[in-house]
Copies of this chain bind each other. A is one copy, B any other.
Amino acid sequence: MADTEAREEVTAEELADLWPVLSPEDRVEGFHLLPRAEAEDLFLTRSARDQADLLRAVPHEEQRSWARLLAPDDAADLVQAAEPEERERLLGLLDEQTRRDVRALLAYAEDDAGGLMSPRYARLRPDMTMDEAIIYLRRQAQERLETIYYVYVLDDAQRLLGVVSFRELFAAQPGRRVRDIMRTDPVTVRDDQDQEAVSRVFRDTDFMALPVVDAEGHLKGIVTVDDIVDVVEEEATEDIQKIGGMEALGAPYLEVGFTAMVKKRAGWLAALFLGEMLTATAMARYEGEIARAVVLALFVPLIISSGGNSGSQATTLVIRAMALGEVRLRDWWRVMRREIGAGLALGAVLGTIGFLRIVLWQAVRPTYGEHYLLVAATVFCSLIGVVTFGTLAGSLLPFVLRSLKLDPASASAPFVATLVDVTGLVIYFTTATLILSGTLL
């Protein structure tokens, strides 16, 4: 009883706040408890996936009125988020004009500018006077335009001639014409441009909206910066999950089914495991050396993990710099030079710490035998080699992936670590053979 009462007092704000951690059933239950106006606010600010779930949960006769709240780009996202067999039914809930818009939007790939844009922009003709323009805009403002902040000036063939901000229209003298005050040659994005590239244009220009044109310069829609916030967040999440060594989940952590999540993680983990098996092969190759000098085995985890860690740093730096457009394919040599230097410096730091550790430890508690200085020298030299190699491999790999048209973020930290582990063992045991043969080996 107390529970029911508490639930009845829920507000849209509280529900939005709790949303990420509620079960689908609790969401629907809370949603039904809200007054219509608050429920609408909540509905409109949910993700496309959640909107589809909510729509499925309202009574059949109400679905049409809920679906019609959505702007065409949001309706398109909702249709895309729904199961394929449900899509036609959802399209059927929309009014004629919106349905046409949505079908046009659905033709674009989800990650392209065309898949992000809204076809509801404010438009003017170049020869309108200020007075005509204001009257015409006032009429357009009755429709649900995405923004009236920017107004787009089109010729008869719907080609984009220029842009004028509402503020400029508002401040201009009544006698002038749109043509006189519009900015020609506006910044545009292409309808087939990737959303990551679109987000970079927004970052570099500080516009609140950008017009989307096709190859012939026809205006197809506009992308607003609030959609870009979602894009930037989504792309960062994908990159972070790939860097962590798994497939991007594509949905909030707690909402992905357990089996789906384990599958996405098991694939990469098994692939890394298969790669890492080469370490067992490499180790078997040096079994004789280990049997003769067990002391060598003691430093194996230390050496290979140092290569992995430095490679992980280098690869994350380069992946992120590429995603932000700070580093391009042709900068590879500049990055290489820098990373070779960084690798040598970092390797020297770790090598020195390692050397001192062995020498000091030996003084306190003799563990490493009479040739401990040679062992320390082996560790020192190996660390320089392994860390430099790790840094180099970690920074080069994103370039290789990008030049193969693959996602640089797949050069995940665990992937680089695995690559470096095998090579690290070879570097370590080769160094050991060079330094220790005649004494320990």
Contacts and interface: CB of A to CB of B under 8 A. Distances in A.
A268 to B, nearest CB: 8
A236 interface: yes
Given A283-B298, A317-B241, A367-B284, A345 B266 contact: yes
A437 interface: no
Q: Is the interface of A mostly helix, strand, loop or mixed?
A: helix
A290 interface: yes
A301 B304 contact: yes
Interface stretch (A58-66, A79-87, A124-132, A326-334): A326-334
A272 B309 CA distance: 8
A112 interface: no
B138 A171 contact: yes
Interface string A310-342: 101101111111001111100100110010011
Contact of A414 (B199, B324, B413): B413
Q: Which among A170, A244, A252, A326 has the highest number of chain B CB atoms within 10 Å?
A: A244
A225 to B, nearest CB: 5
A386 to B, nearest CB: 12
A411 B140 CA distance: 52
Contacts of A77: none
A243 interface: yes
Contacts of A141: 167, 170-171
A225 B199 CA distance: 13
Contacts of A276: 301-302, 305-306, 309
Given A324-B233, A342-B258, A350-B270, A249 B310 contact: no
A353 B273 contact: yes
A355 B336 CA distance: 40
Contacts of A268: 313
Given A166-B148, A342-B265, A233 B232 contact: yes
B327 A20 contact: yes
Given A273-B353, A297-B290, A313 B279 contact: no
A44 interface: yes
Interface in A198-220: 199, 202-208
A151 B269 CA distance: 53
A10 interface: no
A401 interface: no
B262 A346 contact: yes
Given A290-B294, A413-B312, A45 B206 contact: yes
A291 interface: yes
A241 B326 CA distance: 15
Given A149-B147, A270-B350, A305 B207 contact: no
Contact of A345 (B142, B166, B170, B262): B262
A350 B418 CA distance: 15
A349 B264 CA distance: 13
A417 B305 contact: yes
Nearest to A409: B240
Q: Which among A20, A141, A206, A233 has the highest number of chain B CB atoms within 10 Å?
A: A233
B253 A226 contact: no
A208 B367 CA distance: 66
A280 B294 contact: no
A328 B252 CA distance: 13
A6 interface: no
16 contacts: A16-B204, A20-B328, A44-B206, A148-B167, A228-B229, A243-B413, A253-B317, A254-B334, A262-B346, A272-B305, A272-B309, A277-B354, A290-B290, A308-B414, A309-B417, A312-B414
Given A246-B317, A262-B345, 10 more contacts: A254-B326, A258-B342, A261-B342, A265-B342, A269-B350, A269-B387, A272-B305, A283-B300, A300-B300, A305-B414
